[in-house]
């Protein structure tokens, strides 16, 4: 009876006979407790290090809102693709106008973000539509030729910190 109360049967321990001392079970439990303690201290430390290394800043570019309205001969110019081409440094930007001619620029820089980086940009306008049907894939640009290329459009903007509103009045002739 003394042996049964202080020993337990453990068939997984080789060469221990039918019974192993309770100290073996105690040692296993202590190892489990130490591992739990180790991980409970290690995980918060790892997360604290990761948080400190990455900081609280959002990832991505430092972008600023650019929006406005594009008109052609005084009427909203819908379905137009606007291209921002940086004069010096910066990331290209783009937008499509809605039915009211309203646009909001997004930046091309690995990931698309609403807004664009600080700097000066030349602006181009294109409205590509398919002509006819079938597999020919023929298209035509309905934007006046002068405005299609950012280098010849005559439009240039400077993006500053904060919100930037730029309206563009295009003339068909």
Instruction: Say what the pTM is.
Output: 0.61
Q: Residue 116: its pLDDT value, please?
A: 85
Task: Enumerate the domain spans of the chain.
Answer: 2-54, 66-170
Token pair, residue 140, equals 């035509």
CA torsion sign for 138, 142, 144, 149 is negative
Give dist(CA 106, CA 65) in Å, integer.
Answer: 8
How high is the pLDDT of residue 58? 47
| Residue 162: per-residue pLDDT | 87
User: Residues 6 or more apart from 104 whose CB is under 8 A from it?
Assistant: 65, 66, 67, 95, 114
Give the model's pLDDT for residue 59.
55
Q: What does each C-alpha distance from 134 to 121, 128, 131, 141, 165 come to in angstroms? A: 38, 17, 9, 18, 41
Residues contacting residue 173 through CB under 8 Å, at least 6 positions apart:
144
Is domain 66-170 given the CATH code 3.40.190.170 in the classification?
no
pLDDT beneath 50: ranges in the chain? 1-5, 56-58
The answer for residues whose C-beta is within 8 angstroms of residue 147's C-beta and 6 or more apart is 124, 125, 153, 154, 155, 170
Return the pLDDT at 164.
Answer: 93
pLDDT (0 to 100) of residue 4 = 47
Q: Any idea what the Cα angle at residue 81 is, between residues 105 and 77, rounded to 5°?
A: 100
Mapped onto helix, strand or coil, the DSSP state of residue 43 is: helix
Task: Please tell me the predicted confidence (pLDDT) of residue 48.
Answer: 65
**Tell me, what's the pLDDT at 8?**
52
Are 123 and 155 spatial neighbours (Cβ–Cβ below 8 Å)? yes
């Amino acid at each position: 009876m003394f042996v049964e109360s202080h020993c337990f049967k453990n068939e997984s321990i080789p060469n221990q006979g039918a019974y192993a001392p309770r100290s073996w079970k105690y040692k296993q439990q202590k190892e489990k407790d130490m591992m739990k303690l180790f991980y409970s201290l290690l995980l918060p430390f790892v997360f604290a290090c990761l948080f400190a290394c990455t900081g609280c800043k959002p990832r991505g570019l430092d972008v600023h809102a650019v929006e406005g309205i594009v008109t052609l001969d005084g009427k909203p110019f819908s379905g137009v693709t606007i291209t921002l081409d940086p004069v010096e440094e910066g990331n290209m930007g783009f937008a499509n106008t809605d039915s009211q001619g309203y646009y909001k620029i997004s930046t091309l820089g690995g990931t698309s973000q609403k807004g664009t980086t600080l700097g000066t940009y030349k602006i181009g306008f294109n409205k590509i539509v398919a002509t006819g049907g079938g597999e020919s894939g023929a298209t035509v640009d309905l934007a006046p030729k002068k405005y299609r290329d950012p280098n010849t459009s005559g439009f240039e903007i400077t993006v500053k910190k904060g919100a930037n509103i730029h309206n563009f009045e295009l003339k068909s002739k």
